[in-house]
Amino acid sequence: MSFTQRRKVATNEQKFCLMTENEISKIVLDVAFEIHKKLGPGLLESVYEIIMEYELVHTYKLRVSRQRGIPVVWKEMKLELGFRSDLIVEEIVLVELKSVEVLAPVHYKQVLTHLKLTGLKLGLLINFNEELLKTGIKRIVNNL
């Protein structure tokens, strides 16, 4: 894929995103591993979310939306708040964070639904409540 093809079409207030979904997901996972290594499992999901947003914005200079309300459109009806995304990084990667004992099948389905509603192609489901973080990371794709 060429440099030009990788650029995301920018709105008036957005900058161009020059990274692919895979490049952004690598950064997100690097940050997740660093957080888990230093803090370990067992904290509230919101703690991991706030720290991850901080690291992505301040260390990596990425644009991150946290707890953004995503509308759902049904026929002619628009529900302004269908769900809240934990993190959306550079407008191309959705990150859903958990701190639960076991990921349930519905967690995967929720991320896929969120990807479909936002039109995004890549979602990362990260469960920080694991002894080894790598066992709590799931990559979910929407027509990638």
Q: List the chain pLDDT tens, one digit each, 144 residues.
A: 333 333 333 333 445 568 999 999 999 999 999 999 999 999 999 999 999 999 999 999 999 999 998 888 889 898 887 788 999 999 999 999 999 999 999 999 999 999 999 999 999 999 999 999 999 999 999 986
Phi, psi of 11 (to 5 degrees): -85, 180
How would you write 4-59 as a 3-class SS string? HHHCCCCCCCCCCCCCCHHHHHHHHHHHHHHHHHHHCCCCCHHHHHHHHHHHHHHH
Phi, psi of 49 (to 5 degrees): -65, -45
90: its two tokens: 């550079």
> What are the residue boundaries of the structural domains of the chain, listed by start?
18-141
